Amino acid sequence: MTISAAHLTRAAGLFAVVSGVLYIIIQFVHPAENVATVTGNAWAIVGYMTIAMAVLGLIGVTGIYLRQVTESGLLGLIGLVLFGLFFLLVTAFTFAETLIMPPLAAESPRFVDSFLGIFSGAGAQVDLGLLPALNPVAGVLYVLGGALFGFATFRARVLDRWAALLLALGALLTPVVSLLPHAIGRFAAIPVGLAMIWLGYSLWATERRTVAAQRSSDPRLDLSTAT
C-alpha cells in the first residue's frame, strides 16, 4: 500500500475514534485510586488503556487540526496546543501510575497514596513538591483546550459541527462536576469521549469523500489512494 496524506488523515480519524472509545470505557472500569489497588491486574490494564487513549488522542486531534488548518485559524492552533499538552500530561502521569507506583507500594505506601491523590482529590500525606500543581494545570488544559479546539472546529465548517460543539460543551461543563465525588464526576468525560468518536469518524468520512471526488474528476488519479 502506498502511504499518502489521505491514508494518514483517515488513520488519524480512526485513532481519534479508538481514543474516544477507550476514554469512555476507562470511566466504567477504573479501579479505586489507592495503594491497595495499584498492584492488581486491573490497575495495569486500565493504565495501559489510558496511555493508549492519550497517545491515540494526541494523534487524532493533530490529524483533525491539519485537515482544517486554514479554516480553524489561530484559535484552532491554540486549542490544539492546549489539548495536546493535556494528552501529554496524562501520558506522563499514567506512565508513573502504571510502571513506577506498583513497585513502590510495599515500601512507600504513603508516597503512593499521596501521588494517586493528586487527581483523585484525596490529598497528599507527604510533601510532593510541585507535583500537586498537575491537577489544576491538567484541568485548565482540558477545559480550555477542548473548548477552544471544539469551537474552532465548529467555526471551520470542515468536519461535523455538532460533534465539535459537543466537544466544546463537554469540556466547558467539566468544572461543574468537580463539586461531585471523584468516582461520580469522572463520568463527565463521556460527552468528550463521544465527541472524539464523532469527530474521528467525521474526519475519516470527509477525507474518504474528498478522495472519491478527486478520483471521479481525474481518472488518472492513482486508485490506491482511495483504498
Grouping H, G, I as helix, E, B as strand and the rest as coil, residue 175 is helix
User: Using one digit for the tens of pLDDT, what is the confidence trace for 34-74?
Assistant: 888 999 999 999 999 999 999 999 999 999 999 999 999 99
Q: How far apart are CA 151 and CA 212, in angstroms?
A: 28
Of the candidates 210, 165, 189, the one whose C-alpha atom is nearest the C-alpha of residue 57 is: 189
Rounded-to-integer distance, Cα 46 and Cα 11, Å: 24
For residue 29, which of 39, 19, 13, 41 has the smallest C-alpha distance? 41
Give pLDDT tens digits for 124-163: 677 778 888 888 899 999 999 999 999 999 999 999 999 9
Residue 10 CB-density burial (10 A; 0-12 exposed, 13-18 middle, 19+ buried): buried
Alpha carbon distance 184, 196 (integer Å): 21
What tens digit of pLDDT does each residue of 73-122 get? 999 999 999 999 999 999 999 999 999 999 999 889 888 888 888 877 66
CB 16 within 8 A of CB 56: yes
Domain boundaries, the chain: 8-121+129-214
The torsion defined by the Cα of 70, 75, 80 and 86, in degrees rounded to 10, comes to 180
Find the Cα–Cα–Cα–Cα dihedral 146, 150, 153, 159, rounded to 10°. 110
Neighbours of 182 (CB within 10 A): 15
0.85 cut: is pTM over it? yes
Q: What is the pLDDT of residues 188-223, one digit of tens each?
A: 899 999 999 999 999 999 998 887 887 777 655 554
Determine the pLDDT at residue 198: 97
